[in-house]
Amino acid sequence: MKLGIDNVKLPESRKRGPLGSLDLVKELGLSGIFFSTALDMSPTLDIGELREIRAKADELGLYLESGVGKINPYCSAEEPALRAAGDGDIIAGFTRMIEASAAIGCFELWVAPGNFKSEYRGRLANDRFRTDITWEDQLIGIDKVLRKLAPVARAHGAHLNIETHDEITSFEILRLIEKVGPDCVGAVFDTANGLQRAEHPVFAAKRLAPFIRQTHIKDAYVGRAPGGLDFQTRPVGGGIVDFETILPILAEAYPVLNLSLEVAASVADKPRKANPRQCIEIDDPNWRAGHPDLNAEELDAYMALVDAYETRVTSGEVPDWEAYEASQYGYPTYEHQSYGFSEAITFIKRSATHIEAICKDKGIPLNSPAASKKAA
């Protein structure tokens, strides 16, 4: 396994560009970078630019991962660059990205099933609960898009990996993989996003383990707030995700899996608002009806995680919502002073150190040359 970072969360990634970002990743002692889409490497999918990025990654000994983008046809209008990549034909745009990524050896490709609208509150911020189309119809649309792209993925030996994103459950991802085929569809396991669907991270890891081919590594505090529960990203090791249990599950299932940090360290991130930003309306009948796969055993285990962390908050061992927002572990947030480059780097390094310590303790090879050779 190798430990790297998602480019969106790498500070100054846009300013530095892909090549400069590779240099920064190396300076940080990380072992790779996950570009959300091939367009983030080259907006025109220029093969020369892409090959230059691949060559530099290889020279620095870094893994390089990529993706295709949001494949929910009901939110395509919110991602115009994907349609533009195909000159108005979004399927052609996706196809070009698959082909361009495969041409530089990126065969594990991120896809996501929706968007999160931080300007809204409660469940309506999430595509799962949009009111113009049901979530079931959106899943049907996602399935159709995957089936259109499946022949292209198969022809290039690629996998379209569905992220455990804000709006989808691991159960639904499993059903999509089964319908379209695990030979061309897999999963990107985000270690914290499932918390917003009341999924226990360990349960979700076990469900998806055979199909996990990419990751987003992050942690969060989930606790009681007006309207239900709220979700606040914390440094890896500073939230409720049990990485000591999860990392061995991932390592056993796919020993060459890359672990890409997606921690809230980018200077582009917004501070959490005073009211719940990602409210999990756990007691609302409409919210509960929208999660038919959620069973009592997993819900009880999930709430036990929440309660255990609340005990730590109450005791003062870890900061509550407001104290964390005011200090960011000693660093002021945007609403107070500045959360700049050095603070972002500290956040990343703290998260990386936690993962490295667990891997060492569990005997999981991390960032080893042997792992690189096996992955190649």
What domains lie within the chain, and their CATH numbers?
2-375 (3.20.20.150)
Question: Residue 94 and residue 82: Cα distance in Å, rounded?
Answer: 7
Return the structure tokens found at 139: 């899943």
Q: Read off the tokens for 3.
A: 């430990």
CA-based nearest residue to 161, from 209, 108, 106, 103: 108
Q: List, in order, residues 6 or more apart from 253 with CB less than 8 Å away.
A: 209, 210, 212
Give the three-class secondary structure for 154: helix
pLDDT range class, residue 267, cuts 50, 70, 90: very low
Q: What is the average pLDDT across 253-266? A: 86
Environment class of 294 (CB within 10 Å of its CB; exposed 0-12, middle 13-18, buried 19+): middle
Q: What pLDDT does 327 receive?
A: 64
Kindly tell me if the per-residue pLDDT of 268 is higher than 60.
Answer: no
Mean pLDDT of 176-199: 98
| Token reading at 288 | 């509960």
Instruction: Please check the confidence at residue 88 and state whether its pLDDT lies above 80.
Output: yes
Q: Strand pairing partners for 216?
A: 190
pLDDT digits (tens, 9 = 90+) for 148-163: 999 999 999 999 999 9
pLDDT band at 264 (very low <50, low <70, confident <90, very high): low
* Amino acid 337: pLDDT: 41
Say yes or no to pLDDT of 230 above 80. Answer: yes
Phi, psi of 315 (to 5 degrees): -75, -10
At 265 the pLDDT is 52
pLDDT at position 136 over 70 = yes
Q: What is the mean pLDDT of the segment spanning 62-78?
A: 94
Contact yes or no for 38/63 (Cβ under 8 A): no
Q: Report whether pLDDT(334) > 80.
A: no
Per-residue DSSP letters for 189-228?
Answer: EETTGGGGGT--HHHHHHHHGGGEEEEEB-EEEEEEETTE
**Pair type for strands 228-234 and 219-225:** antiparallel
Under a CB-based contact definition with an 8 Å cutoff, are residues 226 and 184 in contact? no
**Of 36-50, 68-82, 136-150, 361-375, where does mean pLDDT reach its minimum?**
361-375
Q: Which element (helix H / strand E) includes 42? A: none
Whether 328 shows a pLDDT value over 70: the answer reads no
**What's the CA gap between 75 and 142, in Å, rounded?**
11
Measured between alpha carbons, how far is residue 26 from residues 3, 33, 52, 373 in Å? 11, 10, 16, 18
The set of long-range contacts for 357-362, using a CB threshold of 8 Å and a minimum separation of 24, is: 358/243, 358/244, 358/247, 359/1, 359/3, 359/247, 359/251, 361/244, 362/244, 362/247, 362/248, 362/251
Lowest mean per-residue pLDDT among 5-9, 155-159, 170-174: 5-9
40: pLDDT confidence band, cut at 50, 70 and 90? very high
Of residues 87 and 241, more confidently modeled: 241
Q: 249: which residues sit within 8 A by CB, 6+ positions away?
A: 202, 205, 206, 209
Q: Which residue has the higher pLDDT, 175 or 373?
A: 175
Is the pLDDT score of 269 beyond 80?
Answer: no
> Which residue, among 1, 72, 4, has the nearest Cα to 261 in the 3D structure?
4
**209 contacts 234 by C-beta, under 8 angstroms:** no
Q: What's the rounded mean pLDDT across residues 120-128?
A: 83
The mean pLDDT of the chain is: 90
d(CA 350, CA 323): 19
The answer to whether the pTM exceeds 0.75 is: yes
